[in-house]
Amino acid sequence: MMMTPLQKYLSATPAESVSPAFVSWLSALQLVAGEAPGVARAVVRELAAQRSHLKLIASENYCSHSVQAAMGNLLTDKYAEGYPAHRYYGGCENVDAIELRAAKEARELFGAEHAYVQPHSGADANLIAFWAILSARVEEPALSRLGTADLNRLSDAQWETLRQELGSQRLLGMDYYSGGHLTHGYRQNVSARMFRAATYAVDKESGLLDYDAIEKQALDFKPLILLAGYSAYPRAINFKRFRAIADKCGAVFMVDMSHFAGLVAGKVFVGEENPVAWADVVTTTTHKTLRGPRGALILCRSEFADAVNKGCPLVAGGPLPHVMAAKAVALKEARRPAYRAYARSVQRNARALAEACMREGLAVQTGGTDNHLLVLNVAQTHGLTGRQGESAMTQCGITLNRNSVPFDPNGAWWTSGLRIGTPALTTLGMGTAEMEEIAPLIRLVLDGTKPAPSEKGALSKSKIALDGAAQKVAQRRVSALLGRFTLYPELDLAFLKSSFLR
């Protein structure tokens, strides 16, 4: 009888050298391969790909094996619509315990009055938050005026009046091209279709937020929700100033801290830079700087707790108990002193990389960074679109994403910029010395990349001509760098390849 991969590993490895994490991985892949070999192969290839590429995507990280293990179990089988002690299904006692634990970890980590840990993604969290605010500030007052708390008791005419009122509210968020997120009022997103949305932009000269200009715009526009936060803005935000603006114009102050939540959790952003201390509602993903599973959560003041808890049936479907379990694990990890040291290193590395890039003659937006990311304008320095720069980097072993720059003439698809982040490389253990190595690598690749002609002869916005010699040098230097910082070193990639890629 043939030995399984797990049996082979255990028989060939001294007991004291057996890696529990590798046993877990191997056992899971063995089960998967028995039903879907192609899926198991893709998982192994992804590990190989991530070990061979510098991950500079600002929105990605590497979570712990404990977080991964929390997601791979029978909790995925449970329906648990509702919230703890208020479910629409029986048999949810253990899910209640997990959700309550995750919420407690979130409240204590961030100092929040209330935490809701069900959202599946940052976009889901923002939708739930939007509708919770609409419920608390528009629906509930309307029902009070009508003398009922039950929507089903409204006449058709009353319901239509309320529905129109809910659909005519105003949202003021950060412009997508200035670094805001799709869900902050971008016209291609539902957020701009459910609200009358307006956006504030950064200053054209400095690339920085102009709080006086935002205040004037908010007072003129009078939004129900004033939204702060970003996905590609490299500076810290003064949330105390935003709070004052919201109070002046009578808005609910909401912050999307999905990108920099880890810097808040790690006490890098404190005082005026800590959104939880100033906002009414805060949303965040859990998988970026927070280094948890893919998912999200909402923090809010007690005033909005009941409305937020009704994310299902308001917007979301049933929660994912296995992911909430993983969130509980990650949030506990983030409360440790080692995590605070990690968060400080993320910021320190980003600053070092930005400074090194500028010494290389690259165009760094705003002349530096305060957080975990920086944005390069490759159209300005190399005549490339962001898509061309992204493609060239990928071919040289550097994974990042193209990104718009403020007032971008190339639009949201081609873009003029590259967004670069340090969370994942910091998790690997890299420091400022490695950032000094990476900046010349980026310059080397960009210098070796030219726009290629399209089929019609004009220069393409996507095709490139990549210098082969530069590519080889870059790949060799990437490989040498990653050879010193191995992703999940306890996982025997050679063994996995021989077991599942035959």
Handedness of CA 388, 391, 395, 400 (dihedral sign): positive
**Model pTM?**
0.96
| Residues 328 and 98 sit within 8 Å (Cβ to Cβ) | yes
pLDDT at 456: 74
**Residue 252 backbone class (left: φ over 0; alpha: ψ -120 to 50; beta: rest):** beta
pLDDT at 458: 80
Torsion, CA 202, CA 207, CA 211, CA 215, rounded to 10 = -20
Write out the H or E segment, with its range, that includes residue 198. Answer: strand 196-200
Domain spanning 339-466: CATH 3.90.1150.10: yes
Closest CA relative to residue 491, chosen from 48, 38, 30: 48
Per the structure block, which two tokens stand in for 130?
A: 């939007």
Q: 165-196 in b/e burial notation, b at 16+ Cβ within 10 A? A: eeeebbbbbbbbbbbbbbbbbbeebebbebbe
Per the structure block, which two tokens stand in for 210?
A: 């102009």
If DSSP states are collapsed to H, E and C, what string results for 137-179? Answer: HHHHHHHHHHCCCCHHHCCHHHHHHHHHHHCCCEEEEECHHHC
| Residues 105 and 332 sit within 8 Å (Cβ to Cβ) | yes
Per the structure block, which two tokens stand in for 199?
A: 């956006």
pLDDT at 115: 98
Residue with token string 């997508």: 176
Q: What are phi and psi of 200, to 5 degrees?
A: -105, 145
Record: fold of 74-333: Aspartate Aminotransferase; domain 2 (3.40.640)
pLDDT in tens, 368-409: 999 999 999 999 999 999 999 999 999 999 999 999 999 999
DSSP 364: B
Query: How is the chain split into domains, by residue range?
Result: 74-333, 339-466
Q: What mean pLDDT value characterizes the chain?
A: 96
Taking 50 as the pLDDT cut, the residues of the chain under it are: none
CA 314 to chain centre: 23
pLDDT at 384: 97
CA distance 47 to 354: 28
Q: Count the Cβ atoms, other than its own, within 10 Å of residue 18.
A: 11
- The order of strands in the sheet holding 373-377 is 373-377, 417-421, 401-403
pLDDT at 2: 82
pLDDT at 502: 80
Per the structure block, which two tokens stand in for 29?
A: 């892949």
pLDDT at 243: 98
CA distance 235 to 248: 24
